[in-house]
Copies of this chain bind each other. A is one copy, B any other.
Amino acid sequence: MTNSDDSAIGLGLLLPFQIAQLHTALNAQAKVIISAYGDLNLAQWRIVRVVALGVESTTTPVRKAAGIDKSQFSKMLGALEQKGYVVLHPYKADKRQHVIELTDKAHLAHARLGPVLDERQRHLVATLSEEELSVIYKAIRVMAAAAQKTDFDIPIPAMEEE
């Protein structure tokens, strides 16, 4: 096994790198599929999907489930409302948030696109076993948590000259 002290992280070099490339490929794929079906972009689709699937319907939980920056979320939600995919209601329990309600248009879009993307997901993981998928889910959790740390002890705080 490659020792971590050995060379500079042997083959596995650049894991974030590979994840970025995978993400780019997945994004492009999703974009082609989604845009073939309507006028939603990726972020908008994610919001619709989270609301359509989940129990959550208030803004903050939806936003966190979709993993979208709050700035972009605000804009995309506004776009969804303007395009008639959602209706926003005041949320009694917390006046800062809103309750997101999907319109028939959104439900229809979800009914058409959901199965296609489910098929795509099946295709993506077709050759992976259940055990491997468990490992992957675990790894994603672990790395996402580890990605929170940004203040690494820096070995050499070199001179700022030049």
Interface residues of A (CB under 8 A from B): 1-2, 4, 6-30, 32-33, 37, 46, 49-50, 53, 64-67, 112, 114-128, 130, 132-133, 135-150, 152-156, 158-159
A27 to B67, CA, bound (A): 13
With both chains docked as a complex, state the minimum distance between the C-beta of A70 and any C-beta of chain B, in angstroms. Answer: 12
A141 to B22, CA, bound (A): 8
Contact A124/B146 with A9-B118, A19-B23 known, Cβ cut-off 8 Å = yes
* Contact between chains at A141 and B9 (CB < 8 Å): yes
* Contact between chains at A123 and B137 (CB < 8 Å): no
Of the candidates B128, B140, B141, B150, the one whose C-beta lies within 8 Å of that of A32 is B150
* Contact between chains at B19 and A19 (CB < 8 Å): yes
Instruction: List 13 interface pairs A-B (beta carbons < 8 Å), by A numbering.
Output: A1-B130, A7-B144, A9-B122, A10-B141, A15-B125, A19-B19, A21-B144, A22-B143, A22-B144, A25-B148, A115-B155, A123-B152, A128-B142
Cβ-closest chain B residue relative to A24: B67
A7 to B53, CA, bound (A): 12
A16 to B11, CA, bound (A): 22
A107 to B101, CA, bound (A): 54
With both chains docked as a complex, state the minimum distance between the C-beta of A89 and any C-beta of chain B, in angstroms. Answer: 23
